[in-house]
Amino acid sequence: MLIGKVFDQTSTTEFMAMLDREYDNEKLLSSYIELSLDGGEPKPNSEPIIIARITKLQKENPLLSRDQASVSASIGDIGYHMSRRFTYSWAECTVIGTLTVSGFLDMNRCSVTPNAEVHSISETSQRQLFFSDKPSHLPLGTIESFGEGDTSQVPVTLNADELVTKHFCIFGMTGSGKTNTSAKLLEELMARGHRMIIFDSHDDYINIENFSNLFCDRDSNGNKKELKCRVNDRNCDAVELAKEQLNPNASNNRPKNECVCERLIRTASVIYHNKPARQIVAEGCKKITPKLVNALSNVNPWNTLIQNRQVCSKSSFPELKYYGDDFQDFSINLLEAFQGEQFSDAQLRWLRGNINQRGVGIQYLNNLQNALNNNPPPGRGGTREAIEQKLQGLINIYNDARRTNARSIDLELFFQCIADRAKAIPQTVYRLSLTDLSNNLRKALVYGVVTYFFRSFKYRDYQATSKKGQPNAYPILFVLEEARSLIPKSSSDDIDISGKLARRAMREIGYEGRKFSLGFGLISQKPSTVDAEVVSQSNTLILHQLKSPDDQKYVRDVAESMSQEDLEMVKSLGTGRAIVTGVAIKSPVLLRVDFRYSQEGIEEPRPIENELRNTTEIRNKLGI
């Protein structure tokens, strides 16, 4: 669709376009456009085309200043006729690259032709840029760009391999849709069987395996609308066959047929070229057939994903024990993280000679106390008394943790359960609830889990790739919800030892994790308070609305691939809208994120509304 023409001087990277009056509105801002190399009508199916993006809109009138022209254009009667007649709309455009017929986005090497036709981006070009039907790509939402037809139907997919090995961040203020976006990404990774450890600070993902929202959508106002099951009870022939052939288990005490139905729909989404799972339901689940079940039954990992529940939820803190001679310093650091205090040099010298005690938990700490009595540190008694006080403090912290719903987790056994291919259990996602833990224990858990996994890959011959023979471990993604409280920004007078150790663990994953197929995802509503060194290693950013100047400046400093115009747009993004930039996508894109399939976590507290819930009844009686 022709919307204007190139005007004035051009280059290989930018140009100005004069817009047709029919299209000079705000819908064009941040939209993609396309031009032919020869200046005529672009033909994306048969020739390379130049892809550009509108980064700024402005109006001009030779009789008025630019500000006066914009204001006058919005006034009726005389103002409208005078300004509209002489006002022209301009668009500043940035060239993204040259899109080849095969869909490859190459660097643009020729200047834009003066007076060239400027067209809104076609659906063909949008799909080549932002959609891939490969199973290694995750559908996240739909593109928001002015173009021909209903562009809201053009899906956006992200390269999952780039996400889980080169790390990602999801930032957005409260109510911007950040948690929905993170849940959507995790659901798509789960549908592909990727193994993850989720540090869930507020139980936002407690229902991450209850996919009942598959059967409802949201209208333009955000209200839920139900999608009908074709047999009403989610027990079609395909589900019956899967129950018979695979003997699947249920999850979350829900009916087995519902769980199997949801697993089949999400698996079909991957198999059928990344067709959104909710769209499969809306079309009557025609793709969920016995033939699909037979095709999946004997093929890994699909049969395992349909057979088993995927999520194992725990409320845990790291077990205290001696984790081996090659993990001596790790065992000592874990004690420091546990209590949030650092050992002195004299205390460390004694610990290095006595840390290898037997037992776990309280028994292990008691054995350390016995070793202190039998083999006290040399010199005056100050060091011994300090160690004794810290050991007693550790015992108190451990006992306090056991009085909650949390239970200790042996990191060695935990690694074997999720990462060791020979010993791992079928569950692919471990959700570690942090709600019962103190701030120090939350950070200690991050330090303990992340460091133990990283060092097991680095020093204990575990590998997730086949570079040196058969892989004996699974790739792992660490997801930190509310990252600002787990790896907080450091300061010059930092006395947060637990936070310091958690940051160090995440930095190691950021620097070296990729070669071991270890990655991380950070989620936060206040990015400026998250450790910048960890965030700087994230190569994909998903940004919802951020109004704080500190957060905007922070993103500007760490997001090298974002333009100033995109950063400006972050200030005013609506709920559910996000800008995605980085290596997981060919070019930065504004999208509307799909509604998550799983149920939301803990409901938002509404004490006033709940207390006054009988107001409607009273109003009815009074005829109000």
Q: d(Cα 318, Cα 449) in Å, to the nearest integer?
A: 8
Q: Categorize the per-residue pLDDT at 64 as very low, low, confident or very high, splitting at 50, 70 and 90.
A: low
User: Residue 42 pLDDT > 80, yes or no?
Assistant: yes
Average pLDDT of span 549-559: 84
Enter the tokens of residue 92. 């500043």
DSSP state of 25: S
Q: d(Cα 538, Cα 561) in Å, to the nearest integer?
A: 12
Q: Is the peptide bond before 301 cis (omega within 30 degrees of 0)?
A: yes
496-521 tens-digit pLDDT: 899 999 999 999 999 999 999 999 99
Percent over 70 (pLDDT), the chain: 91
- Range in 104-118, 396-410, 556-570 with the lowest mean pLDDT: 556-570
Q: d(Cα 380, Cα 377) in Å, to the nearest integer?
A: 8
The answer to whether 137 and 157 have CB atoms below 8 angstroms apart is yes
Sequential DSSP letters for 254-287:
--HHHHHHHHHHHHHHHHTTT--HHHHHHTTSTT
Check residue 561 and give its pLDDT: 64
Enter the tokens of residue 86. 């002489």
380-424 tens-digit pLDDT: 678 999 999 999 999 999 999 999 999 999 999 999 999 999 999
Check residue 116 and give its pLDDT: 94
User: Residue 83 pLDDT > 60, yes or no?
Assistant: no
User: Residue 155 pLDDT > 60, yes or no?
Assistant: yes
- The domain locations on the chain are 2-130, 133-209+422-624, 213-309
Q: Categorize the per-residue pLDDT at 71 as very low, low, confident or very high, splitting at 50, 70 and 90.
A: low
278-310 tens-digit pLDDT: 999 999 999 999 999 999 999 999 999 999 999
pTM higher than the cut 0.75: yes
SS3 label, residue 36: strand
Average pLDDT of span 422-433: 95
Mean pLDDT of the chain: 89
Percent over 90 (pLDDT), the chain: 68
Q: Categorize the per-residue pLDDT at 145 as very low, low, confident or very high, splitting at 50, 70 and 90.
A: low
Is 133-209+422-624 assigned to CATH 3.30.70.270?
A: no
| Residue 68 neighbours by CB distance under 10 Å | 14
Check residue 149 and give its pLDDT: 47
